[in-house]
Amino acid sequence: MQIVFHIGAHATDQGKLLKSLFRSKSILAGRGVAVTGPGRYRGLLQETLARLDDAQPAPDARDVLLDAILDEDTPDRVILSNDSFICFPGQILAEQMFYAATTEKIMKLVNLFPDDQLEFFLALRNPAGFIPAAHELVPRLSFEQFLRGTNPLHLRWSHMVRRIREAAPQATVTVWCNEDTPLIWERLLHALAATDPATELNGIHDLLEEIMTREGMQLMRGFIQKNPPRSQARKQRIIEAFLDKFARQDILEEELDAPGWTEQLVSQLTDIYEADVEDIRQMQGVRFIAP
């Protein structure tokens, strides 16, 4: 069985990818792909992994877990999404790195599903915006408490991706930049579901409907209907053109303000992030989805 873990990061799509896939649940079920409501597995999987701290999983642990998650039919592919698979928001910067528990949690998943084909999906985000946004998820912590003494200039997403690859060398790892998500939304849905781009899925414009004016969406839909794009690249260019003119700036403007942070620091973090993304794009065993 193919088991897909969409592991975040926090403060990226806020569950929207899973919601869009859920709109195509019946379509995907006909293709052997199961999309299950998160309430059926998030707590259960967390509890199962917690019990593995000092022990190997019981021989039937995998089957018991999947029986609780899935309906009667046994699918070929299961999609599970939880941005707290690795840790809860308050521990994002534990040990002064992104998601220090990555190796431990990924290895537990490998042990729990030893004979399954695992896939991990991860959205990256510029630390200049990610850190303040992630901190908002844990308002009980001050910004200093959330940072845990971390120097943000030392943070690298590539370190986390390498830990995933090392803990699960046989698994497929798919990565993208959250900043590109509006342009690649349809491709992400097909990648998560492992469906052919020709497969018609619901929800392919869900995100665009949130960030584009109603007028812009109507015009774009009409343009695409009259001028069907012959390639995904062409469709992305169309989306980019309409976003450029009709994007809702009140939603797209990213808050980069954090206590004590200067414009120079934000600029440095952005430069480091762009170089880090390029490093990830060159990694073997990583599929990078970009416009």
Q: What is the pLDDT along the chain (291 residues), one digit of tens a residue?
A: 999 999 999 999 999 999 999 999 999 999 999 999 888 888 888 888 888 866 688 888 899 899 989 976 789 999 999 999 999 999 999 999 999 999 999 999 999 999 999 999 999 999 999 999 999 999 999 999 999 999 999 999 999 999 999 999 999 999 999 999 999 999 999 999 999 988 999 999 999 998 899 999 999 999 998 998 888 888 889 999 999 999 887 766 676 678 889 999 999 999 999 999 999 999 999 999 999
Query: With contact defined as beta carbons under 8 Å apart, do 132 and 19 qualify?
Result: no
pLDDT, position 49 = 86
Distance CA 160, CA 93 (A): 12
pLDDT, position 255 = 67
Query: With contact defined as beta carbons under 8 Å apart, do 194 and 33 qualify?
Result: yes
Q: Is the pTM of this model over 0.85?
A: yes
Strands 172-177 and 286-289: parallel
Six token digits for residue 244 = 């450029």
pLDDT, position 115 = 94
Query: 122: closest CA among 70, 163, 91, 69?
Result: 163
Query: With contact defined as beta carbons under 8 Å apart, do 90 and 142 qualify?
Result: no
pLDDT, position 73 = 77
pLDDT, position 46 = 87
pLDDT, position 74 = 86
Q: Max CA-CA distance within the chain?
A: 60
Query: With contact defined as beta carbons under 8 Å apart, do 58 and 65 qualify?
Result: no
pLDDT, position 95 = 96
Distance CA 104, CA 172 (A): 18
Backbone angles phi and psi of 274, in degrees to 5: -65, -40
pLDDT, position 232 = 82
Six token digits for residue 105 = 């949690």
Domains, the chain, with CATH or none: 2-201+256-289 (3.40.50)
Six token digits for residue 10 = 């926090």
pLDDT, position 54 = 65
Distance CA 254, CA 190 (A): 27
